[in-house]
Structure 1
């Protein structure tokens, strides 16, 4: 399974490193360990693989320098201040260690909106592509200094998966303080066993995930990693959760190390991949069972199948579609919310009189919709 992430089979690889691996308990950078990661990246680069790093650690590093309690996470203001200070130290460390291996580091700080807004997403994708073709190693983190509680990724696992979409990567490697997904939390249940491969994320797989961060430094947990896997799979990228607690963790994993691999889905079109990976939506269209079945077979969402409309959205905004069993699709609205409310449940023949103009073919067209 690790060979899916080798240079010969994975031209572009996203490597995410969590705070618990990068920062010691006293808040200092683990430079000796990080130097082995830089050496692994240099070896992958020499073998023809382009690597993007998604690096946590800024808040933990800044908290130490500012003397903040709870690792800088006591409040949003503390986290923002800690990130502003820690990001400088983090970027400097990466630049020095990659530079010592003959590589050029490039820093990119992203917010949720940078990847949720289609135009900004395409700009980010273009920048990533140019940096990689020039031989640079992008080092990416969430821009925690300006992110708010309402508008943020909140963890770098999902950020890594979204970066994989933007970079058109074939693989994502989440280096963690655990070596994969277990049937239960291995820190609490000695009988828990690791799952080697996941081809489909369902309720059973989600139930195994634990939302807590074992180290207390990070903001994620296994739940965020499983959600990241869903995003990566939809983008056509394999995702692995593997231990980073040894020196040269990337080389160790590729040499046959253990972990959990989430197998990629068939590659979708670029727009549908972006839709599947989004974390926010402007509203929800609730549909009846008949409409849900029709959409599952590839149909567009007609107004007649809509039951209720929630949210405030305009034409072109992303909306979610929920059936009797919950959310199952996402797409671009063909109507403003107000007009969608007016024609929900109505047949096509009635819509022109209600709207005062010729109705469009669907509330959400199948060409701009993706099943989740």
Structure 2
């Protein structure tokens, strides 16, 4: 617990900054920005050629027919693997730089003292802009509560931060376009705002773990942090890539592999019957399947792409993805350090109910 309390002042290591700033070197910053621009141009050129390269590799080099199950599965895999990793590198780096503008202390100050509902909306928005890693979930929670942030507002932040994250947005944008990505972001924010507001109205502060309530009674705070330089911000982007991509690369490959098998071998009428909009029970079934899964957005989005391509309804597929990201078993185990079992049950029930409504709504209107 001492380590958790000590972490309250800085969040996860990826957001921490040295206390003694190095002098800013404009020439070095300009050089790094120029190299980034060249790298971005190369990224665009390579990304634009991925589909042709995947088709050539599958048909010409491997001699497979894309009209067969095996050929289509292989084409899906060799196309989506570099595509997903390229999207991850680009978006995670950019968000890593943006993240340096939103430290845990600045976020606490922005949310402290805000009225309910207004605070829920602000917290959900900040959760999207501040995608803190899972190692900081507990210290952030404690820091928010002890800084005077209402419990429901804190939950809005904790729901939106993992649910509407940079990995999911990047992959959804690259695979389905901006409309689906915007739909995912909007519904995720709505679930975070409503769920946080409902939990706040229930006044469940007494269901926090004893040591958290003791800290709340004593008050809390965090020391000031220095303003990062642009070199620090660029370093933060690089460190975010190393940390996040380093953690999710295996899930990406496994997810694409599962997606390739679904794409190549699962009949369309099978998925349409199992996860189609006509089956009302498909949404709760998808949520129930998603909660115990040990994966993340990087691993589940390729599966989502294959499911939709085979006839799964968009609302059901989105409900499945949201349950995996926002209600995963690993996250519940982390939150168990600060929440009692009763409060976790309320959290899962409220958020799960919101996800169900989103799934049924979109299946009905889209």
TM-score (norm 2): 0.24
Q: As a proportion of its length, which structure holds more strand? A: 1
Select the structure that is richer in helix.
2
Structure with larger RCO (C-alpha < 8 A, sep 6+): 2
TM-score, normalised by the number of residues in structure 1: 0.24
